[in-house]
Amino acid sequence: MRLRSVLISVLLAALAAAPLARVAAAQSKEIFVPLLVYRTGAYAPSGIPIANGFVDYFSLLNERDGGINGVKLAWEECETQYDTKQGVECYERLKGKSPVLVNPYSTAITYSLIPKAPGDKVVVFSMGYGMSAASDGRWFPWVFNFPTNYWSQASAVVRYIGQQEGGLDKLKGKKILHIFHNSAYGKEANPTLEELARRHGFELMLLAVDHPGQEQKSTWLQVRKSNPDWIFMSGWGVMNQVAVKEAAAIGFKMDHFIGNWWSANDSDVVPAGDGAKGYKGATFHAPGTAFKVHQDLVKFVYDAGKGAAKKEELGAPLYNRGVVNAMLSAEALRTAMAKFGNKPLTGEQVRWGFENLNLTDQRLEQVGMKGFTHAIKVTCEDHEGNGPVLIQQWDGKKWNVVSDWIAPMRDVVRPKLEAAAVEEGKKLSYTMRDCAKEK
């Protein structure tokens, strides 16, 4: 009885001490970037490589160059498990350290953070995910989703399918299936696909897979019944592995199965073994380690024992995506420093840096990424850059790029984007700013 009451009081005291759990204030000599990651749960297979890539590139900058122009980068990871509530909790906690930009790594969390961005003066950088409509910078000054968004990607994939069929006019009467994660993320591409189906006369089928995506037997039964010509998939986490396995199991032509850029990582295809051979995926950067940046990562980060991943995990598509994400963030910070000086920056200054980012091929070569990704120019109106897309294919051992850069159909995507931006902006009671007045 006595032991019991002692134990209880200890526990209650521990709970009462919880208010003491405050986050320490950030050091003002550094630029602080909070990282919302997910290294546990159903989305860990996708979350781990991307988080590792991001952290490694920032470590590289700190180790090799002493930060950006001498200003060190500081970061802290917070586990969200890809869950909106935990993501918001993480953001609020790390906000105490005065961050200037945040990478939510989840479309649902991005939707929750977008309304907070203008008030908190924190740039939301959702690279290739999040709200597609936020590409219209006139309505969403604080949100950036370059180098390209879901709608552009969907149009580029349809263009690729057209190329494979021998021209976009050959799409008429074909059946394209979109398998998507039943969430804000997965649904994002649907409006564009529907529009393209109308324009090019192909039959579009939409099949949702519920969170977390481990159970897809009924989905693939429907696939077998409908026998589509092409499958496009917007999956994430454990859903991808299961889908690739199921596709292999029903004997679907793997080279007619294209994942979006979140559905084509090593961890998605390896579990299916040889069955996954031929599976394709979209991307906006090259896979592999044949670039100078990877040599530097090995030399400065991994040989110093500071790497976040294992050395052989370098070069996986999602790892490389984390590297690109970190590089784009760093270059935007650098752009801001060129105007405001080499010191820790405010949120507004960083926002200016993002909006005036002009990443040239020359600059890409300097950061050791020649041929790794493409040049980007962000403007006040265009926070997306409408970047082109590559198609990569799994050969059983590694990913190979099998296409040229495929341009999205800007004529289709941009008008829809602008219309959607008006709608989404009004929901948040935003007003459109006049880009002519911005410098």
Partner 1 sequence: MIYREAGQFKATYASDQAIFPIVQDRVFVLAVVIAAFVVPPLVASEYWLQAVLIPFLIYALAAIGLNLLTGYAGQLSLGTGGFMAVGAYSAFKLTTAFPQLNIIVVFLISGLVAAAVGLLFGVPSLRIKGFYLAVATLASQFFLIWLFNKVAWFTNYASSGTITAPDRTVLGVLVTGPNSTTAARYVTALALVTVFALIAKNLVRSRVGRSWMAIRDRDIAAEIIGVRPLRTKLLAFGISSFYCGVAGAELVFLYLGSVETLAFDISLSFLVLFMVIIGGLGSVLGSFLGSAFIVLVPVFLTNAPHLVGLALPVALQKQIELMVFGGLIIFFLIVEPNGLARLWQISKEKLRLWPFPH
* 363 CB-near residues (< 8 Å, 6+ apart): 331, 375
Residue 126 class from Cβ within 10 Å (0-12 exposed, 13-18 middle, 19+ buried)? buried
CA proximity to 384, closest of 432, 417, 429, 335: 417
Q: Is 14 in the site for partner 1 (CB under 8 A)?
A: yes
Choose which of 46, 59, 62, 84 interacts with partner 1 (CB under 8 A). 84
β-sheet bridge partners, residue 34: 76
Q: Tell me if 131 sits within 8 A of 423, measured CB to CB.
A: no
Q: Is 30 in the site for partner 1 (CB under 8 A)?
A: no
What's the closest the beta carbon of residue 430 comes to partner 1, in angstroms? 9
3-state secondary structure at position 225: helix
**Which CB, 24 or 436, lies closer to partner 1?**
24
What's the closest the beta carbon of residue 24 comes to partner 1, in angstroms? 7
Choose which of 6, 10, 29, 40 interacts with partner 1 (CB under 8 A). 40
Which amino acid makes up residue 71?
V
User: Distance between CA 260 and CA 283 in Å, rounded?
Assistant: 7
β-sheet bridge partners, residue 359: 376
β-sheet bridge partners, residue 376: 359
β-sheet bridge partners, residue 280: 258, 393
Stretch that binds partner 1, among 266-274, 332-340, 383-391, 427-435 (CB under 8 A): 427-435
Choose which of 13, 15, 25, 436 interacts with partner 1 (CB under 8 A). 15
**Which CB, 21 or 436, lies closer to partner 1?**
21
Q: Is 297 in the site for partner 1 (CB under 8 A)?
A: no
**Which CB, 388 or 425, lies closer to partner 1?**
425
Residue 269 class from Cβ within 10 Å (0-12 exposed, 13-18 middle, 19+ buried)? buried
- For residue 257, report the phi and psi dihedrals to the nearest 5 degrees: -115, 115
Q: Is 305 in the site for partner 1 (CB under 8 A)?
A: no
Choose which of 6, 11, 249, 338 interacts with partner 1 (CB under 8 A). 11
What's the closest the beta carbon of residue 84 comes to partner 1, in angstroms? 6
Q: Is 18 in the site for partner 1 (CB under 8 A)?
A: yes
**Which CB, 4 or 439, lies closer to partner 1?**
4
What's the closest the beta carbon of residue 157 comes to partner 1, in angstroms? 17
Choose which of 92, 303, 361, 365 interacts with partner 1 (CB under 8 A). 92
User: Distance between CA 422 and CA 404 in Å, rounded?
Assistant: 34
What's the closest the beta carbon of residue 205 comes to partner 1, in angstroms? 15
Within 143-206, where are the H helices? 150-165, 184-187, 190-200
Q: Is 433 in the site for partner 1 (CB under 8 A)?
A: no
Taken as a whole, the chain contains a residue count of 439
User: Distance between CA 195 and CA 357 in Å, rounded?
Assistant: 31
What's the closest the beta carbon of residue 4 comes to partner 1, in angstroms? 6
CA 336 to chain centre: 22
Q: Is 8 in the site for partner 1 (CB under 8 A)?
A: yes
Choose which of 72, 170, 175, 187 interacts with partner 1 (CB under 8 A). 187
Choose which of 56, 136, 188, 384 interacts with partner 1 (CB under 8 A). 188
What's the closest the beta carbon of residue 435 comes to partner 1, in angstroms? 22
| Interface positions, 310-349, toward partner 1 (CB under 8 A) | none
Q: Tell me if 46 sits within 8 A of 260, measured CB to CB.
A: no
Q: Tell me if 378 sits within 8 A of 144, measured CB to CB.
A: yes
What's the closest the beta carbon of residue 152 comes to partner 1, in angstroms? 15
Residue whose entry in the numeric block shows the structure tokens 């494979």: 164
Q: Is 204 in the site for partner 1 (CB under 8 A)?
A: no
Q: Tell me if 185 sits within 8 A of 112, measured CB to CB.
A: no
**Strand 175-181 relative to strand 203-209, pairing:** parallel
* 326 CB-near residues (< 8 Å, 6+ apart): 53, 54, 55, 56, 57, 58
Stretch that binds partner 1, among 75-83, 255-263, 265-273, 322-330 (CB under 8 A): 75-83
**Which CB, 85 or 410, lies closer to partner 1?**
85
Choose which of 72, 121, 211, 433 interacts with partner 1 (CB under 8 A). 211
Q: What does the longest C-alpha to C-alpha distance in the chain come to?
A: 82
The mark string for 45-64 relative to partner 1 (x by CB under 8 A, - otherwise) is: ---x----------------
| Interface positions, 94-153, toward partner 1 (CB under 8 A) | 95-96, 107-108, 111-112, 114-116, 118-119, 131-132
* 357 CB-near residues (< 8 Å, 6+ apart): 146, 328, 331, 332, 335, 376, 377, 378
Interface residues toward partner 1, by CB under 8 A: 4, 7-8, 11, 14-15, 17-24, 37, 39-40, 44, 48, 77-79, 81, 84-85, 88-89, 92-93, 95-96, 107-108, 111-112, 114-116, 118-119, 131-132, 182-185, 187-188, 190-191, 208, 211, 420, 427-429
